[in-house]
Amino acid sequence: MSSPMSRRGFMKQSLAVSAAGALALQSGAAAAPAAAAEAKPADTKNPAAPADALPQGKIGNRQVSRILLGGNLLTHFTHSRDLRYVYNLAAHYNTEAKILETLALAEKHGVNTLVVHTVPAILSTLKKYRREQGGKIQWIICPTAPVEAGMKAYTEQVRQLVDDGVEAVYLWGVHADALIAQNKVDLIAKAVDVVKDHGILAGVGAHDLRVVQACEKNKIPADFYIKTFHHHNYPSAPKPNEVRGPTGETPGYWCADPKATIEVMKDVEKPWLAFKVMAAGAIPPQDAFQYAFSSGADHVLAGMFDFEIAEDVRIARDVLGKVNRTRPWRS
């Protein structure tokens, strides 16, 4: 964003703006864009899309916005490194009412898909958003059930997600990374098959680049990949010759080798949804979106508080309007 504040900081100005927005929505009116001549009433149930809509791509039979709403802030898992108080701060800010408001704002600005992991509280809120507010935002969700021989628990959780109305399910990157480390590629394939058996889109998530390489080598029929991606040009990024694990598990970064990721993904023909593009708030959106899209990502997950959505979408539209890519769009 153009503001110099930290993305994960809650400065008084941002909270004041958010509070004002919440009051406006509760009263049934919101300020119109600066370019509009008159204020128009806000409709948090069916907010109208702006004229300059956010570009989309197609994954399977689904139209998916180039920017997706990342779910970690909604589940209060902020990846705030050693600033432990931020987790509680996010939990106090992103109440159910605020999450419902955030989902409506995302849709209003053209973000038509959410990516989140399975947490009972958030699933309840998502269902409420559809049921009571007529929300249409699509869900891409990863089960947290164990991926193991027999796949009983995993299959049951997928079935429940399908019953709840999920549009796509992907193998959680935490699980995929562990399976690769244990040389259990067959279980990654089974996880994809379980989802496809239910007739919806199936993806594979990863922090470890070897997950994507193994899926491609073994021709696992995933419909898309969700892979970490960000550069290392920020203060808490890994330093030269610093030894860390292959998935960047030490706090500070999540894409261990961005150059290698670019090299591998350039030949991958499946859609690539890049996440952790801002390194959990360490990289500004302009920089992060430009780097991700120009390097080949087809879609970008962005964790956004409600007061960040309009500006982040504006930045994304600007970047997408003039991005120069070598990897073809795969969605």
Q: Which CATH code fits 58-232+243-321? A: 3.20.20.100
- pTM assigned to the model: 0.81
The yes-or-no verdict on residue 24 having pLDDT over 80 is no
Rounded to whole angstroms, how far apart are CA atoms 197 and 256? Answer: 33
Q: Does 248 score more than 80 pLDDT?
A: no
CA distance linking residue 318 with residue 330, whole number of Å:
20
What are the residue boundaries of the structural domains of the chain, listed by start? 58-232+243-321
Query: Residue 121's pLDDT is what?
Result: 87
- What was the pLDDT predicted at 236? 76
Q: pLDDT tens for residues 261-317?
A: 999 999 999 999 999 999 888 899 999 999 999 999 999 999 999 999 999 999 999
Q: How far apart are the first and last CA of the chain?
A: 26
Compute the average pLDDT of residues 11-29: 41
Tell me, what's the pLDDT at 81?
62
pLDDT at 32 (0 to 100): 37
Distance CA 32, CA 224 (A): 37
| pLDDT on residue 253 | 63
Mean pLDDT within 95-110: 95
CA 90 from chain center: how many Å? 17
